Structure 1
Amino acid sequence: MGIESYIRSEIYRVQEELAKYSDDGVPEKLLRRLNLLVEISSFIHGLDWLTPTYLRQRYATLINGMELGDVARLHGVSVDSLASSVSLLEHRLQLLLGGVVGFLMSGEIERAGDEFELRTGRGSHPIFPSFVHSMIRPVEHRGVDVESCELEIELLSSLVLSQVEVRILSLDRQKLEHLLYIVNNDIQYRTIHSLLMRCLEGGIEPAETTALIAYYNDSLRPTFGSKFD
């Protein structure tokens, strides 16, 4: 059973258990468990933890009950491509919330709540996107010399939410939206999609990517008479 399915079934089970008690006789621990489960469910369905962003809509339709094949057709992607993405996303969710579920299963509600706040950065105003907390856990290492951490500091500074928001607002929104649409459609824009994904995964530089796309568009002009994308 995946984490999302477990949380959903636990909410249903605890709600059934609570229905057995009168309003003034409900065990406090059971209420705290339900509140935490609902918060975790809200976090999962909010999809802020999910990157890249274009996958959020696909995963949202899946966890809301749509079949894999229907989701693939809806978003114009192959079933194999979608299944591979979903497997990676479920693995990421396991890394992020596996410890929380472990504490819930053993009945340790307080530890589950603490772990949830730690892993998602929800205990205070978040500095980084939640996926950072799923990959890097804050742990003290006394042997680490901070003076030698220039590359690591450079990485973290590029991930600060406020800086990402400023960068997005400084760029052309229509261009960003169109690029996300192409990334999200590996059938309709097969060649352009492939080039963009190579770039996003670090295989080629952005300047080389746009040059290759221009070359591809030029190759289509004798046949179609205009740019394809």
Structure 2
Amino acid sequence: MGIVIYGASKATCTQRILATFIEKGVTDYELKTINLMQGEHKKPEYLAKHPFGVIPFMEDGNFSLHESRAISYYIAAKYANQGVKLLPNPTDLKGMATFEKWASVERDNFDNYALPIAIEKVFKPIRGASPDPKLVEHYEKGLLPKLDVFDGILAKQKYMGGDEFSLVDIYYLPYTQKLFDAGYGHFITDRPNVKAWWERVSGRESWQKVLAM
């Protein structure tokens, strides 16, 4: 058996991993669904695997790993010689440093704003809770100028990590999708270069397959 992923196909962080598998042409993996609504991620047997009690979690033989970006990176590197090239050559110092730069940009300048908006506008209502308008406004105000900067960046390069589709773009996919789900799609479509980038990456076969799962 290949890699085992503990997660859920509709969960944003698991979706990063699934998109990576598809881009790399990996089919020898197993997705073991963790039912979040039933609290399976907080049960002792799962906490023994993942100390923070969240998904996803990976097992590859006797090696285990948590955090979706790390797992996606592991998959992209393990299967470097097949499918779409998602990472620079590990011996390319400048390429790897540039990859790390753009990966950090995603977390610090996008995820830190888009994730809380998704929590308030998408995930809370699913649980029967109400969004906090002040929190939503705070994160909206933080995200909008960042998206303006992204629009300038994408005027000079086609993708978030450079001129080629890469793992960095996969990192963005779930929570950009959630902005649309939350009613904030215009944040993306109002910025021509961000819009063009989103159309390129969201239209990829891998992401469409993930959404259909």
Using the size of structure 2 for normalisation, the TM-score is 0.29
Give the number of the structure whose alpha-carbon radius of gyration is greater: 1
| Larger RCO, structures 1/2 (Cα 8 Å, 6+ apart) | 2
More strand by share: 2
TM-score (norm 1): 0.27
The answer to which structure has the higher helix fraction is 1
